[in-house]
């Protein structure tokens, strides 16, 4: 019972650490593009290798502004 409680506490602490790291990464970035890129990269870390992106609603379309682990991208990648 105590061992399970310790494991749950470790998992919770790790989740909190991930949130703080994500928040710090976004808050210390200079400008929107950098903050969006940091968000994509950090948000994808604990969840595996699936790409993450930030997009803005442009009417019928979503304009991708940042793609995880990609400094520059073109329309063929999105």
Q: Could you report the per-residue pLDDT of 21-65, keeping only the tens digit for each?
A: 999 999 999 999 999 999 988 887 655 667 888 999 999 999 888
Q: What is the model's pLDDT at position 46? A: 58
Domain boundaries, given as residue ranges, for the chain: 2-77
Sorting pLDDT into bands at 50, 70 and 90, what band is 71? confident
CB 78 within 8 A of CB 53: yes
Residue with token string 């909190």: 16
- Please say if the pLDDT value at position 77 is more than 60: no
Q: What is the pLDDT of residue 52?
A: 85
Q: Which residues pair with 61 in a beta bridge?
A: 58
Can you give the pLDDT at residue 11?
Answer: 93
């Amino acid at each position: 019972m105590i061992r399970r409680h310790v494991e749950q506490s470790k998992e919770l602490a790790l989740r909190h650490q991930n949130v703080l790291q994500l928040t710090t990464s976004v808050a210390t970035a200079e400008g929107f593009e950098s903050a969006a890129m940091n968000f994509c990269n950090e948000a994808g870390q604990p969840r595996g290798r699936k790409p993450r992106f930030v997009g803005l609603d442009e009417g019928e379309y979503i304009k991708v502004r940042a793609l995880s682990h990609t400094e520059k991208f073109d329309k063929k990648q999105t």
